[in-house]
Amino acid sequence: MNKVITKKIKSFDNARSSLDETIFHNANGYIGVRGTIEEGVPAEWDTMRGMYINGFYEVIPMKQAENLCNFVDKKETMLNVCDTQTIKLNVNGHDFSLFSGKTLLNERTLDMEAGITKRNIRWQSPKGDKVGLEIKRMTSFEELSLFTIEYSVTAENFDCELVLRSLHLPEVYNYSDPNDPRLAADSEKFLHCITADIKDSVSYTVTETNVSKLKCATLVAHTISAKNSRICVSKTDDNTIIYDAVVPIKKGQTITLTKYTIITDSLRHKDPLEVGFKKIEAVLKNGIDHYYEAQKAYLSGFWSKAMMEIENDNEMSLAVNFNMYQLLQSAAKDSYGNIAAKGLSGEGYEGHYFWDTEMFMMPFFVLTNPELAKQLLKYRYQTLDKARENAQFLGHKKGALFPWRTITGVECSGYYPSGTCQYHIDGDIAYAIINYYLVTGDLDFIRDFGEEILLETARLWLDVGFFDGDRFVINMVTGPDEYTCMVNNNYYTNMVAKYNLEWAVKLFSILEEKGMTGKLKKKIKLHDAELTEMSQAAEKMYLPFDEKSGIIPQDDSFFDKPVWDLSKTPKGNFPLLLHYHPLHLYRYQVCKQADTVMAFLLFSQVMDKEIMRRTYEYYEKITTHDSSLSKCAFSVVAANLGMREKAYSYFGNSAKLDLMNLHHNTKDGIHTANMGGCYMSVVYGFAGLSITEKGLSLAPFLPDKWEGYSFKICFMGSVLLVEIDSENVKISLISGDPVEITLYDKKVKLMDKTATKSLLR
């Protein structure tokens, strides 16, 4: 299946440029580079020329008008760490620019099997000289610190001397938009240069943050194919390092400048500059072709398990593969980072990690790359102590409350009603840990990391909730819907809390039977009475239900509010959060995103289908989908309820959200949660995948617009291929030990790379 996206750009304007900066960004989970064009754009254009490190941050003030007890008054923000993207070309006295001369071809490509982006340009200077440019970019999956630009110029109809100027700028600014709460309000320079110099033609800089005192080292080296080039490397007073190459070129000849950037940081290395020099030396020794081949090999392994193909719909197939590739680019490969709401593609939400990872992205990694899923969960374990501190700040005597938005584990949400108050994040993380265990059977992970999180989050539920007669209630929390805040007994929150409590006890019992609890019990001072209380709270958890309508209310007071008339709301007033005061929104029945419906996505196998259907149809009428997390959830639940056309409609909007810029803000970065949700729409929705204690089950259907679809999943260490066409469902064991699954309520055992077939229902 083709995994190459190519766009021929006929009209190059600011909107097109800003969008392409996101679509054609390069990232590998450690570093991310916006797809800005090397030669730059006009000064008046809106551009986000960023290079980022996952988990690297500065602490900045967050002013509170009334700074009450333990209000958050500072936050962490992801930084633009340097600019090594700039390369300028002068052709016979004229600077190459898409805004002068004549552009004969302007094409951009993302190759998801080669792991590169590419620009192909044919340009004619005002003098009539024609050049062809091919510019390749890569962030290496083998050497995570490495970003490369291979800049090739072909002289089509002239002989002359080309001048190539490549810049290394250590002091840069972050992007800002004071009119959008999803972006930082102030443009600041958070790093100052403490070292900038040149050694053996390698430029190197070290910058340091003002408050967090983190250091970033960047090293840049160049090679050029023309042996008779005249090279000069110099430094300016503002610490910009300039590489100039004067290159004689003849008609029909091609010359190539290769620019290597190494980025390291003091979070991961005691001396990032020393490490950087070792890495740049190895990179120059290996050469660019080595890293291209390694990139292909890495991605071949990725696609061998993450494969998803849709027959007779190449556009949709390309969209779902684009989304999976972006998830890989966004995911941290170590425990210092996680997956930001915009990945490493832009500065939307300031590089913060949300519940998005566990609920929308983790299912993809658990089913295609369990080792990476485990690494992402370990990040939460690394921040568990800070979650304990966060709980104490909010007045809790025990337990851990993970922050709503964060980089290091510290709460970075200044508006607590729709931020910190979303306690469900504890249940979301617990759910992800349990799901990982059910797919992998990795009890060692549960012993070493997972159970401690489950018990500490369970303790939090006991502290925030209480027994009210014969029921356990949880008051003053906010569910996923940010247009309804600080309520009693949010249905989704109570459901994930119940699940969290049940499994904390259940997995402790499993570990205890194997003699694996002694160390943990002593470490967290766990008493048997706590486990009993957890079981009782789970059993008596109050789940709101309106007997009269047969519908599940989002919370205790939701049905007491008037319904917002969405049909009379001007189209220009969406998203509502940018046009109405929060208090005004809170007084109505109007949902930003799936909330109760989100509970159906997680727990449909234990719920009454008719109640789900009535409830789904009710919330569908009052949900704006102003959040990119919403439509994928509605798609999965519609599929599980047999609403096939509706499921596909929501999926279509979800799958192409960024490629089609459907929310009109992709310029600020990709929507990683929606991309994970797109995968879930196919696998959990259309294919009916469900994972419980009983194992893995499938109940696929074929969307009317497709002739067939297929995907691979990992389960208990084995790899399965699922193929659905108009007549049959075929499941094959590709590798690993025999596994038993359920297909349309019938147990099937796959052995020795055999396959099973069943008629499609």
Residues 623 and 557 in one domain: yes
Contact 94, 126 (CB under 8 A): yes
> Who's near 670: CB < 8 A, 6+ residues apart?
22, 25, 326, 330, 342, 343, 345, 346, 658
64-68, 364-368, 700-704: least confidently modelled range: 64-68
Tokens of 404: 């709503």
pLDDT score recorded for residue 64? 84
> Across residues 464-482, what is the average pLDDT?
98
- 420 within a domain of the structure (yes/no): yes
Half-sphere exposure of 88 (CA within 13 A, CB side): 12
**pLDDT class of 176 with cuts at 50, 70, 90:** confident
Highest mean pLDDT among 138-152, 172-186, 738-752: 138-152
Q: How far apart are the first and last CA of the chain?
A: 26
Residue 447: its pLDDT value, please?
Answer: 98
357 plus 470 within the same structural domain: yes
Q: Which of 629, 656, 683 is the last residue of a domain?
A: 656
Q: What's the whole-number average pLDDT of the chain? A: 96
Cα Dmax for the chain: 90
For residue 187, what pLDDT band results from cuts at 50, 70 and 90?
low
Same domain for 250 and 362? no
Quick: pLDDT tens for 716-732. 999 999 999 999 999 99
| Cα separation, 217 vs 268, whole angstroms | 12
> What's the pLDDT score for residue 1?
65
Backbone angles phi, psi at 416, to 5 degrees: -65, -30
What CA–CA distance (Å, rounded) separates 79 from 98? 29
756 pLDDT more than 90:
no
Reply yes or no on whether the pLDDT at 183 is more than 70. Answer: no
Going by pLDDT thresholds of 50, 70 and 90, the confidence category of residue 188 is confident
- Tokens describing residue 196: 């900038």
Let me know whether 365 and 280 are in one domain.
no
Cα gap 463→401, rounded to integer Å: 11
Both 582 and 650 in one domain: the answer is yes
Reported as a single tens digit per residue, the pLDDT across 568-583 is: 999 999 999 999 999 9
Instruction: Give domain status of residue 339, yes or no.
Output: no
Q: How far apart are CA 353 and CA 387, in angstroms?
A: 14
Spatial CA neighbour of 595 closest among 569, 570, 615: 615
Shared domain for 369 and 277, answered yes or no, is no
Domain-located, residue 509: yes
Among the three residues 656, 674, 691, which one is the final residue of a domain in this structure? 656
Q: Which residues contact 174 (CB under 8 A, 6 or more apart)?
A: 50, 77, 79, 80, 184, 187, 188, 189, 190, 347
CA pseudo-torsion sign 283, 286, 291, 294: negative
Question: Would you say residue 282 has pLDDT above 60?
Answer: yes
Let me know if 281 is a catalytic residue.
Answer: no
Q: How many CA atoms lie within 13 A of 295 on its CB side?
A: 24
Check residue 564 and report its DSSP letter: P
**CATH number of the domain residue 591 falls in:** 1.50.10.10
Mean pLDDT in residue range 515-519: 95
Of the pLDDT bands very low, low, confident and very high (cuts 50, 70, 90), residue 189 is confident
CATH number for the domain spanning 240: value is: 2.70.98.40
Same domain, 479 and 567: yes
State mean pLDDT over 377-381. Answer: 98
At 540, the pLDDT band (50, 70, 90 cuts) reads very high
Contact 577, 461 (CB under 8 A): no
pLDDT digits (tens, 9 = 90+) for 315-369: 999 999 999 999 999 999 998 999 999 999 999 999 999 999 999 999 999 999 9
Q: How far apart are CA 465 and CA 399, in angstroms?
A: 12
Contact 146, 288 (CB under 8 A): no
Identify the residue whose tokens are 């809790």.
Answer: 396
Interior CA angle at 143 toward 259 and 115, to 5°? 75
Domain that holds residue 611: 352-656
Inter-CA distances, 126 with 10, 93, 103, 458, Å: 19, 10, 11, 70
- pTM for the predicted model, two decimal places: 0.96
The pLDDT tens digits of the residues spanning 646-657 come to: 999 999 888 999
Same domain, 569 and 638: yes
pLDDT tens-digit series, residues 6-42:
999 988 899 999 999 999 999 999 999 999 999 999 9
Give mean pLDDT, residues 414-427: 96
Answer yes or no: is 105 within a domain. Answer: yes
pLDDT score of 216 more than 70 = yes
Report the alpha-carbon distance of residue 331 to residue 339 in Å, rounded.
5
In a domain, 403, yes or no: yes
Domains identified in the chain, total number: 2
pLDDT for residue 251 is more than 60: yes
Span 106-112, average pLDDT: 98
Rounded to whole angstroms, how far apart are CA atoms 368 and 478?
32
pLDDT for res 244: 97
Q: Is 309 within the bounds of a domain? A: no
760 domain residue, yes or no: no
Q: What length does the chain have? A: 761
| Bridge partners of residue 721, in order along the sequence | 712, 732
How high is the pLDDT of residue 82?
Answer: 97
Q: Cite the DSSP H helix spans in 206-260.
A: none
Residue range 147-157: mean pLDDT, rounded: 97
- The catalytic position among 38, 143, 350, 482 is 482
Tally of CA atoms within 13 A in the half-sphere of 353 that contains its CB: 30
Measure Cα distances from 719 to 311, 323, 362, 439, 722 in Å.
21, 21, 18, 12, 10
Looking at the fold, whether 284 and 373 belong to one and the same domain comes out as no
Of 621, 656, 691, the one marking the end of a domain is 656
- The structure tokens listed for 371 are 């080792």
Judge if 383 and 260 occupy the same domain: no
What does the alpha-carbon distance between residue 410 and residue 524 come to, in Å, rounded to a whole number? 21
Asked if 598 and 488 sit in the same domain, the reply is: yes
| Tokens representing residue 690 in the block | 């469900």
Q: pLDDT tens across 704-714, in order?
A: 999 999 999 99
CA dist 90 and 95 (Å) reads 4
At 186, is the pLDDT very low, low, confident or very high (cuts 50, 70, 90)? low
Summarize the confidence of residues 204-226 as an average pLDDT. 97
Would you state the pLDDT for residue 561? Answer: 98
Whether residues 233 and 363 share a domain: the answer is no
Pairwise CA distance, residues 544 & 551, whole Å: 9
In a domain, 408, yes or no: yes
